């Protein structure tokens, strides 16, 4: 996860909306960043890896829907997404 973005740990009443938001994963029983949840959820379901706890996870599905809806309607996540992509693409030697 990019160190440029602050991490916010959410309580149970709020859904994570930004990639760096942290929340309590019910199936893993630990705190995860939304970016990790989305990556694992999408990989488990796209590749049909039934042995992964993220396969058909209702919380992961809900997080994905919330994130996608926010990205489509608010436009505020665009800057965050681009910042993460750019930081991930930077050469580690520079």
Q: pLDDT tens digit string along 18-29? A: 888 899 999 999
Compute the average pLDDT of residues 51-55. 95
pTM of the model: 0.64
Structural tokens at position 20: 């760096």
Structural tokens at position 6: 């602050």
Pick from 41, 19, 40: nearest CA to 88: 19
Give the residue with greater pLDDT, 70 vs 26: 26
């Amino acid at each position: 996860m990019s160190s440029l973005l602050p991490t916010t740990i959410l309580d149970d009443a709020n859904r994570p909306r930004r990639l760096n938001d942290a929340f309590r994963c019910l199936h893993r029983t630990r705190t995860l960043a939304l970016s990790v949840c989305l990556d694992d959820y999408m990989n488990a379901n796209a590749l049909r890896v039934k042995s992964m706890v993220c396969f058909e996870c209702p919380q992961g599905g809900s997080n994905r829907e919330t994130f996608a809806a926010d990205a489509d309607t608010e436009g505020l996540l665009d800057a965050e997404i681009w910042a993460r992509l750019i930081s991930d693409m930077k050469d580690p030697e520079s």
